Amino acid sequence: MYILLVEDDLLLADGIIRAIQRERFTVNHVQQGQAALNHINVEPPDILILDLGLPDMDGLDVLRKIRKTTLSLPVLILTARDMLDDKLAGLDGGADDYITKPFELKELIARLRVLERRLSNVNTNEIIIGNVSLTTSTLQVCVNDEILQLSKREYMLLKALMESAGAILTKENLEAKLYSWGEQIASNAIEVHIHNLRKKLPSAYIQTVRGLGYIIKKQ
């Protein structure tokens, strides 16, 4: 899960980034609306967290521009309480949810989970495919009720594939979901994680589609 955070308050952004990373989401951060639009064009996130009071443009204009091209991108709006009334228009403008400042990081994470569940079309914090179950609220993965010991990246990789079960994810898709901008990525990093993950999972659970990427089939 790759989240783009658009927030010019650096202290707040820092807190949000830490909270999101603890939940093993990948997060990238920009401070301006135009930068957000540029990044969304190049590498659309799974979820956008958008502050409305940005230095270069109104967050609602950012939202309108996004909705002209990417209808399905889930957007969580951050707004000051005293701006709420006029900004409720933001929901008509195509936001999926909003949260007023100041807020508890726990609440922000809970809202993100709701958007995440909507994305993967599940109603609980648990994704089950075949013998494998992954619980996002506890970061736990079980095979036949036995808990697996996974590294952070292994967990993120498995989650990305399970959420998109039935679809092929390319190496580039997976890198975007596992690593933030500027993080060093070895050229074979995904292959290495897949290799290690396969040793812990039922055989043939993750399949290679030659020349394209990886898939977990729906069962």
Q: Which residues bind Ca ion (CB under 5 A)?
A: 8, 51, 53
Give the C-alpha separation, 53 to 92, whole Å. Answer: 18
- Cβ distance 37 to 59 under 8 Å? no
- Cβ distance 37 to 4 under 8 Å? no
Q: Looking at the DSSP assignment, which residues form a beta bridge with residue 27?
A: 3
- Cβ distance 94 to 74 under 8 Å? no
Residue nearest to Ca ion (CB): 53
Q: Tell the smallest beta-carbon distance from residue 99 to Ca ion (Å).
A: 13
Q: Tell the smallest beta-carbon distance from residue 10 to Ca ion (Å).
A: 10
Of the two residues 101 and 200, which places its CB atom closer to Ca ion in the complex? 101
Of the two residues 30 and 132, which places its CB atom closer to Ca ion in the complex? 30
Of the two residues 46 and 51, which places its CB atom closer to Ca ion in the complex? 51
Of the two residues 43 and 58, which places its CB atom closer to Ca ion in the complex? 58
Q: Over 79-138, what HEC string results?
A: EEHHHHHHHCHHHHCCCCEEEEECCCHHHHHHHHHHHHHHHCCCCCCEEEECCEEEECCC
Q: Tell the smallest beta-carbon distance from residue 57 to Ca ion (Å).
A: 11
Q: Tell the smallest beta-carbon distance from residue 142 to Ca ion (Å).
A: 41
Of the two residues 54 and 206, which places its CB atom closer to Ca ion in the complex? 54
Q: Tell the smallest beta-carbon distance from residue 54 to Ca ion (Å).
A: 6
Q: Tell the smallest beta-carbon distance from residue 79 to Ca ion (Å).
A: 9
Of the two residues 19 and 139, which places its CB atom closer to Ca ion in the complex? 19
